[in-house]
Structures are given as C-alpha cells and as structure tokens.
Amino acid sequence: MGKYDPIIIETGVLIVGHGLAGLAAAHAVRDADPNAFVLAVDKASLGYGGKANKGGGHISFIPPGNEETFVEYHVKNNGEYLNDQDTIRRYAHATVSTMDRWETWGAAFTGRDIAFNAHPTIPWKVCMVDGDILLKMAKKAEARGIQFMDKIDVVDLLVQDGCVVGATAFSVLDGTPYLFKSKAVIMANGNQNWGIMKMWSSGRGEGLATAYRAGAKMRNAEFGSFVNIVSLDHGHVSYEAENFMYNAVGEKVDPNTPQIEGATFVNACGGVDIGGAIGMVMYSHVMQGKGPIYENHAENDFPFNPFGQIIFPMHGEAPPEWYRPFTHKFAHRIYDKNKETAYSKNAETDLKEIEPGVVGECSPMVADEYMQSNIPGLYSAGDISANGTSLAGAVPTPPGRVRGFAMLHAVYTSLTAGTAAVSYIKDLPLTDADEAQIDQRFAEMFAPLDRMEGTTTDEIETRVRSLMQYVPYTNFKSEERLNEAMEEVEKLKADVRKVVAADAHGLAKAHACRAMVLSAEMFFRGSLERKETRGWHIREDYPQRDDQNMLKWIYFEQGSDGSMVMGADRIPMEGYRYQPEGWETKE
C-alpha cells in the first residue's frame, strides 16, 4: 500500500484502548454476539495500561429506590443544571445491574454487601475493587477468545462516505505501520490529564484528538480542570489535606472562603469532598503574601484512621472484610516512600508544603444515549466522553464529584457502546477507505519522524503543563488571563506542527503532544465563551451563574479548513424535571 506498506488487520469492532473501558467494551461485544470479531488494541500492555490499577478502586452505586433523589441532588448541587437529566437518570437506574454484569467479566467487589454511605444526605454507596481488576478482566476476556494487541498507538480514524471504516496506527516498539479495517470503532482510550499528576499521567487525550480530526463533536471542555492537592515532598495527592491547611503566617486556610475581594463562587461538592475552588483559595492566600500553604500532617490522620485504611490503605491494614491485597501493596509502597524519603527531608515539622495539582479530566467527546458519536460507526466508552455525554454537568468528569463514579461509569458506557456497536455492524460489509486518505494519514502520522529539526516533545509538554497548572488560568479564570493563555496556545499550535521524534517511542509522545495542545485550546476557548461562574468553572469577571444565557453546551468541531469551529447547543430545559428558578425570564 503506497509508500508505507502497513500490516493490514480486519475486524468487526475495533476497540481503541484496553484499559477498563476497552476491556469492558470487548466483553460487552462478546455478550451481544458471541461470533462478532472484536479486537482491542492499546499502546500499553494488557492488564497494566490506563488508570484503573492506580486508583482507589472505590465503586459508587445507587441503591434501588434512591435513583431520583440522587438525580435531583446531582443536578441541583453538582452539575448545576448543565446535566443531561435523561442521561444521568438512565445511569442512576443502571448502576446495580452494571455491577452484576461486571461481575461476570471478572470483577470481584469487596464490601458490596456492607457498602458504606458516601455522602451525608445523598444515597450513594461505596464498595471497592482491588487494583488487579484489569488483570482479572483480561484473563476472562482471553478465555472468551477476545483478541488483543499491545504496544499499538492508534493515531487516526479512516472515514469513508461519512462512516468510520478503520484506523491507522503504528507499533511503539519499532514503528511498524498498521492499517485496521473495521465496521465500527469504539474509542476507549481515556481523557486528558495534561501529564501533570503522576498517577494520572497516562491520560493524554490522544483519542480525543483522533476523533476530533475525523470530525467528531466535542463539548463541555471548559470543565476539564479537576484540581487536587499535591504534596511537594512526594508529588502525590495528599488525601483530605483540604481540611488541615494553614498559610505561612499560621492562619487556617478555609476552602470555602476566598480571600480575593469580589470573588464569588460555589465550592461545588466542598465539605463532602474536595471542592471546585480549592486552587483558587490557596492562590488567594499566596497572592496576599501569606504563602506557601501547608498541610498540618499531624492533624490529618487519614493515613492512619480506619476510614483511610479502607479507602486507600497507606498505613496499617484494612479490616478483613475490606482487605484488598493488590491495593494494600500499592498504597503501602507510596506511603513508605513518602515517609522514609520524602518527609524525612523536613522531619522537624508537621507542616508539609502542598500546592494545587491539576488532574484535569477533560473528557469532551460527544456521545448519545447509545454512546454513538455524530459519525456513524464511531462509539466511545469510559473517560474519553465522560463530560461529552453531559451526564454530570458543570463538574470535571469523571468523577462528576461522586467519588467512585468513574470506574462504574466507564463500565456502564462500555456496556452501552459494545451492545450498540454489535447492532450497528449486523449485516454491514467491511468497507475500504480510499488510498489517498490512507496515504495522507500515514504521512501525517510519520511526519515527526521524518523531520530532522523542530520542536522537542519535552518542550511542548513542559509548556502545556505550565499553562494548565497555573491556577489563575485554569481554576480562577478571567477574560484577560484566558486571552493570555490563548496567546500561548496559538504559539503552541504553531510549534507542535514542527515537533520532532527520534524513534517510535518519541513518535507516540509527539502525537500525545498534539492532543495536549488541542485539548488546551478547547479548554480555554470554552472557558472564554462561558461568561458566568458555574460548578467548577469559576470566572472572576462573571462571578454569578447566568441561567438565562448560559444554559447551553459549548461544542467544538474541526472545520473544513482545519480550524476549530465553535457553537452551542441549547439545553432542552423545558423537557427536564428540574429547572433553575427564573431560567425562562429573558430581558
């Protein structure tokens, strides 16, 4: 085939990414049609890629009979009326049945029968899975004859007559080009975390960029700045530090009280979990010359208390009914490392320096009720479209401010996408993409390798991280600062076109860089367009929520000339059960 002579592989459903969502989607396809050809490819290794094996493993579900209470609370308090209320309701009614199905795919829940309440008023319950969940699901999938390929980086989709018909990819080991011909594609390759926080570093949004370049619609990118608290000593999240923060002059730093004059905000989910204004509050103390900010490590007993030992056992051992061997080891490794090496640097004080750490979770790929995109044959599952479905509204998603919502949501959307993709491919022949398109995609894919001079991937990554980590750009926004950020984005757009790769591994980084810049552009453009404060989107210059003008989902598409086209879809509020007061009144 032309200059590139790729290895050609045919399948019915191609799944891009075999982390949690990819594995679940593969099982769902198998359930829907035991004879369907399904192939899941990933740039990492089966059972080890993605996020599910690095996290807390909390699984939140809604006990039967409590679904509507959950929907009402979420819409009013977390999503702030930006939710697609039909979608969140469907999800609320499906959590228990999704867990049942997931068990048949290898999930073993710890504490399902003794799940605890995760919220003082709202009925959602938390149980756990262990950190080897992907290995268990993979083993079961292989036993069912599901095909997997590792170390394959999917870069572009092939679209023929308006439908997705395959993808172009390369081996991250040796650069071998691959051409996948498929009847449907499920994008399950995660969202954008901008490579700032260590444990989220696999989320580089390549799937978003792949889908966008093929014509897929994106929305709600402006909410993709989940800010957590990170320890400067060990570089990981410091759990519950938000309740024990002090500034350099010994004053308590209250996450609910910004010190900046005129700033108004809703600390969405604050008090129950980390809130949307945490970065802004820390920043406001620093701007008064009272920085840095510390966590009083002696006051925060999370690592030692029984609750902490269940949630993330950094120290000691969870009670037998909550004991998870894989997570136990993982968390202990981190804790021991912290204690022995990191905290010993300043052992004489309990005050440990902390800073806001941008996790991100920009996840804007649009998906309908069946997890289908606007392009026939293209579906999504898991983190990639967590905000694009609009299920959770004005909060970074996952977790949509429901701790433990992410994994179950990934499995739910995978079940939906896998089932829908099987119906779509029924009686559908394989279609070839035209040669010119294939050649062009391969040429673009290998361009960073062909270049001898240009920008390095390290430079692009560092610049994007600096941009996204800067609280006044991403957590406390204003038109002036967002325009400043956009100036840097425009420069990055020019520079990333010249990015150079030395080998196949560098090529993967080059494509991740392209995706990081694209996500940053959507984030800042969306943030500029949303002239209000809602949920985790906090604008200094528009401190109020604007229900008359801003009940809309801001979207992005690639225009025919390659530029970013923006628009807004009105929220069909009149058809929804919960409506903000006065939303209809237009002056």
Q: How far is CA 462 from the centre of its chain?
A: 20
State which amino acid sits at residue 165.
Answer: V
Q: Which segments of 105-240 does DSSP mark as H helices, in order?
A: 133-143, 206-214
**Secondary structure (3-state) at 524:** helix
Q: Give the phi and the psi of residue 22 in degrees, each rounded to 5.
A: -65, -45
51 binds ligand FAD (CB under 6 A): yes
Min CB(408)–ligand FAD separation in Å = 6
Between CA 417 and CA 309 the distance in angstroms is 35
Select 123 or 580, whichever has its Cβ closest to ligand FAD.
123
Contacts 24+ apart (CB under 8 A), 529-532: 529/222, 529/554, 529/566, 529/568, 530/222, 530/554
Closest CB 508 distance from ligand FAD, rounded Å: 8
Task: Compute the least distance from the CB of residue 258 to ligand FAD, in Å.
Answer: 27
Q: Nearer Cβ to ligand FAD, position 284 or 309?
A: 309
Task: List residues bridging with 40 in a β-sheet.
Answer: 15, 148
Residue 359 or 394: which CB sits closer to ligand FAD?
359
- Nearer to ligand FAD (CB atom), residue 52 or residue 551: 52
- 563: DSSP letter: P
Site string (92-111) toward ligand FAD, x via CB under 6 A:
--------------------
Query: Given the complex with ligand FAD, which of 247 and 419 has the nearer CB atom?
Result: 419
Q: Among 158, 232, 280, 410, which residue sits at the site for ligand FAD (rule: CB under 6 A)?
A: 410
Residue 415 in the binding site for ligand FAD (CB under 6 A): no
Nearest-angstrom CA–CA distance, 135 and 143? 12
CA-nearest of 391, 410, 335 to 129 is 410
Which of 166, 195, 207, 255 contacts ligand FAD by CB under 6 A? Answer: 207
Query: Are the beta carbons of 583 and 548 closer than 8 angstroms?
Result: yes
Instruction: Supply the minimum distance, in Å, between the C-beta of residue 26 and ligand FAD.
Output: 11
User: Which residue from 190, 195, 472, 535 is in contact with ligand FAD, where contact means CB under 6 A?
Assistant: 190
Nearer to ligand FAD, 50 or 526 (CB): 50
Question: Which is nearer to ligand FAD, 155 or 245 (by Cβ)?
Answer: 155
User: What is the closest distance, in whole angstroms, from the C-beta atom of residue 285 to ligand FAD in the complex?
Assistant: 26
Question: From residue 468, how far is each of 357, 387, 463, 464, 528 by CA, in Å?
Answer: 10, 18, 9, 6, 15
Q: Which of 149, 199, 428, 447 binds ligand FAD (CB under 6 A)?
A: 199
Out of 57, 131, 270, 303, which residue is the one contacting ligand FAD (CB under 6 A)? Answer: 57
Which segment (50-58, 139-147, 342-350, 498-506) binds ligand FAD by CB under 6 A? 50-58
Edge-first strand order for the sheet with 351-360 is 226-231, 351-360, 293-296, 245-246
Taking CB under 6 A as the criterion, the residue among 85, 202, 247, 300 binding ligand FAD is 202
Supply the minimum distance, in Å, between the C-beta of residue 583 and ligand FAD: 31
Q: List the one residue from 13, 15, 52, 286 that touches ligand FAD (CB under 6 A).
A: 52
Residue 564: strand, helix, or coil: strand
φ, ψ of residue 192 in degrees (nearest 5)? -110, 120
- Separation between Cα atoms, residue 190 and residue 205, nearest integer Å: 6
**Residues 6+ positions from 175 with CB-CB distance below 8 Å:** 446, 449, 503, 504, 507
Shortest reach from residue 524's CB to ligand FAD, in Å: 23
- Which of 54, 290 has the CB closer to ligand FAD? 54
Nearer to ligand FAD, 152 or 485 (CB): 152
Please identify which residue in 200, 244, 470, 523 interacts with ligand FAD, judged by CB under 6 A.
Answer: 200
DSSP E strand stretches across 240-393: 245-246, 293-296, 351-360, 378-380
Q: What are phi and psi of 508, to 5 degrees?
A: -60, -40
Residue with tokens 């700033």: 263
375 vs 381 by CB, closer to ligand FAD: 381
Class of residue 541 by CB neighbours under 10 A (exposed 0-12, middle 13-18, buried 19+): middle
Question: What is the Cα 275 distance to its own chain's centre?
Answer: 17
Per the CB < 8 A criterion, the answer to whether 13 and 36 are in contact is yes
Dump strand ranges (E) for 366-450. Answer: 378-380
Residue among 185, 188, 196, 485 that touches ligand FAD (CB under 6 A): 188
Measured from the CB of residue 575, what is the shortest distance to ligand FAD in angstroms?
Answer: 29
According to CB under 6 A, which residues from 5 to 24 bind ligand FAD?
A: 16-17, 19-22
As measured in angstroms, the least distance from the Cβ of 363 to ligand FAD is: 9
DSSP states along 148-179: EE-SEEEEEEEEETTEEEEEEEEETTT--EEE
> Of the listed pieces 115-123, 182-190, 455-463, 523-531, which binds ligand FAD according to CB under 6 A?
182-190
Applying the rule CB under 6 A, the residues between 134 and 163 that interact with ligand FAD are: 152-154
Does residue number 175 form part of the binding site for ligand FAD (CB under 6 A)?
no
Q: Pick one of 12, 47, 49, 313: the residue that binds ligand FAD (CB under 6 A).
A: 49
- 448: buried, middle or exposed (CB in 10 Å: 19+, 13-18, 0-12)? buried
Count the Cβ atoms, other than its own, within 10 Å of residue 518: 26
Query: Would you state the structure tokens that stand for residue 456, as one six-digit string?
Result: 């390095």
Binding span for ligand FAD by CB under 6 A among 46-54, 211-219, 550-558, 579-587: 46-54
State which residue, 9 or 253, has the beta carbon closest to ligand FAD: 9
Position 535 contacts ligand FAD (CB under 6 A): no
Residues composing the chain: 587
Pick the piece of the chain touching ligand FAD (CB under 6 A) from 35-43, 174-182, 425-433, 527-535: 35-43
Binding mask 369-408 for ligand FAD (x = CB under 6 A): -------------xx--------------x-----xxxx-
**Shorter beta-carbon distance to ligand FAD: residue 410 or 467:** 410
Per residue in 400-420, is it b (16+ CB within 10 Å) or e — as a string?
A: bbbbbbbbbbbbbbbbbbbbb
Tokens of 349: 């004080």
Interface with ligand FAD (CB under 6 A), residue total: 39
Contacts with ligand FAD by CB under 6 A lie at 16-17, 19-22, 41-44, 49-52, 54-58, 152-154, 188-190, 199-200, 202-203, 206-207, 382-383, 398, 404-407, 410
